[in-house]
Amino acid sequence: MRAVHWSTSGGLNITKQPGVGALVWSVLNALLYASAAYGIHRRLPVVWKLGWVVLIVSCLEFMIRGITSALTLPGGWAACIGIVVGGIFVTAYWGARWNRQRDYFQVLAPKE
């Protein structure tokens, strides 16, 4: 498995995933998002509920990874506050958008 990263200073970088844990996590993420895309396409009501789980887990993953990186910086507590506040605001925004999609997943009775 490879990770692709673009930066303005170094251009395109392709690196090998470090260890089996990162490989398994990448494969599970790919399977999760592929099955979610299929469920959205098929309008499966359970996918709307699972969307909340994905949103919360993604927020927590962002916060945990961000905070662990920020704590190594001098004055990292300020970055930690920004990470938590920013993560909450972004999650609230996308949560409101996801909540408005509930009607899309409602099972419609066939017209006679």
Per-residue pLDDT of the chain (112 residues; tens, 9 = 90+): 566 767 777 777 777 767 778 778 878 888 988 998 999 999 998 999 989 998 998 999 999 999 999 998 888 899 999 999 999 999 999 999 999 999 888 876 566 5
| pTM of the shown model | 0.69
In 3D space, the residue among 52, 44, 41, 34 whose CA is nearest the CA of residue 98 turns out to be: 52
Per residue in 64-82, pLDDT (tens digit) is 999 999 998 888 899 999 9
Nearest to 88 by CA among 63, 65, 64: 63
Given the structure tokens 């997943």, which residue do they identify?
105
**Phi, then psi, of 14 in degrees rounded to 5:** -120, 120
Q: What are the residues whose beta carbons fall under 8 Å from the beta carbon of 1, sequence distance 6 or more?
A: 16, 17, 22, 23, 26, 27
Nearest to 90 by CA among 45, 56, 43, 50: 56
